[in-house]
Amino acid sequence: MLSGSPSRSGVFQAASDKRLEAFGESISFDHRLYRQDVRGSIAHARMLSKQGMLTSDEFEQIEAALRVIESEIEQGKMPFRHELEDIHMHIESALIERLGDVGRKLHTARSRNDQVNTDLRLWIRDELDHMDQLLKSLQLAFLSRCERDADVVLPAYTHLQRAQPVLAAHYWLAYIEKYQRDRERLADCRRRVNVCGLGSAACAGTTLPIDRDMTASELGFERVAANSLDVSSDRDFVLETAFVLAMIAEHLSGWAEEWILWSTVEYSFIRLPQKFCTGSSIMPHKVNPDTLELTRGKSARVLGNLNTLLVLVKGLPLAYNRDLQEDKPPLFDSFDTVQACLELAIPIVAESELQIESINSRLDQGFLDATTLMEHLIQQGIPQRTAHHLVGQLVGLAQKGCVRLADLSEEQLKSTHASLNLSLRDVLGVEKAVKAYQSYGSSNPDQVRMQMNRWRQQLQ
């Protein structure tokens, strides 16, 4: 028996170079698939037993030994060695050490190609479910803020310029919507992940009488993959997962950027929990939003991981190529990074405090009610473009006098249009503007309450 990689069969006349063993190993990162590998191996062995390729006693021996091996890995009792390459060969080698020829039968009718495809699908499926629960917890954190900040009015921005007044709850509901789309993408992605490739073997299937539907059912897959060549090469489900994680990271980064701005003295909208902030090594007064900045920064890693995976598979011919071993580090890193960001985002959202006095002291700045005034003029029969021009003129007058639109005199109003008078003040001011909204999905208080109730029912 030659030493070195277990993937080298009797055709080789020389041992593998130690440098190749170090270069080609994946156990340093794919060891986290051990639970899924044991689960898939037990399902495979049970099918082999049903099909008569293992006796009942052999299956029981294999299952029991695999459970022990799983426990030893979990407890850190199994040493990982480069020459055994990956988690699959570590587990199989440990099984053979315990059971001899009975252990050697486990790999009947499967290849590491379909084995790793199956293990990875099982692992991703579990992680997608966990990610969904984290996103739901974040949604609930925003929903709890809706109740707490129900009466607070905030300026909404476009181009980072003050635009129109909205309820704070309307802001929080916007983020709930974003994370719901992320959850829907997770669920849709999960359908394509939840396909069983086990039994496709290396690339062409097998001549042995296996039951692929049985193993798929044992492992909770929705269906069986239909083409063995495709199974061996397919990493679409990895790329799609990486894309979904990238979208979550994008949304987290946008939220982080907004709250970083809001926490500055210039905005003074929100006070972050100090336990999620850091100080300065030289400036004693600083309370820096480092957690949010790192969330924004770490999103770049998740986006980069998606790009890495796209480039990895872009030129690969059918079927399996060893390049595919490199799919796991970026995938694992994306899951780890997004999970860490979500675990911190949840308490930050729940525990931050709006600086209501500071917000209210400047709500009259920026002419947030200008659009409401324009739409009031439209309801009076003035064409939209004319109304838009008239309100623009009024804003110009107010800017020159350093006053609000509501403070303009009747003479100033009539100087732009003879029909304008002081009755316009009935629709001016942020509270009146917010109440004036009528459309579905707007920041009208009744609309916001309706959306809050809908989300309360959906999430709880």
Structural domains of the chain sorted by starting position, each given as residue range(s) with its CATH number in brackets: 18-108 (1.10.275.10), 113-361 (1.20.200.10), 370-428 (1.10.40.30)
Model confidence pLDDT, tens digit, residues 362-400:
999 999 999 999 999 999 899 999 999 999 999 999 999
CA angle 340–354–171, rounded 5-degree value: 70
Give the 3-state DSSP-derived string for 428-443, with helices as H, strands as E and coil as C: CCHHHHHHHCCCCCCC
Quick one: pLDDT at residue 16? 79
- In sequence order, what DSSP letters do the residues of 246-278 get, joined into one string? HHHHHHHHHHHHHHHHHTSTTT--EE--GGG-B
Phi, psi (degrees; rounded to nearest 5) at 165:
-80, 140
Averaged pLDDT score across all residues of the chain: 95
pLDDT at 3 over 50: no
Q: Is the dihedral of CA 269, 275, 281, 284 positive or negative?
A: positive
- Rounded CA-CA distance 430/394 in Å is 17
pLDDT tier at 6 (50, 70, 90 boundaries)?
low
Which one of 159, 281, 285, 439 is the catalytic residue? 159
Q: How far is CA 66 from the centre of its chain?
A: 33
Determine which helix (DSSP H) or strand (DSSP E) holds 382, and give its type and residue range. Answer: none
Determine which helix (DSSP H) or strand (DSSP E) holds 24, and give its type and residue range. Answer: helix 18-24
pLDDT tier at 14 (50, 70, 90 boundaries)?
confident
Which one of 71, 280, 361, 419 is the catalytic residue? 280
Burial class (CB in 10 A: 0-12, 13-18, 19+), 223: exposed
Catalytic site includes residue 285: no
Q: Is 268 left (phi over 0), alpha (psi -120 to 50) or beta?
A: left
Catalytic site includes residue 88: no
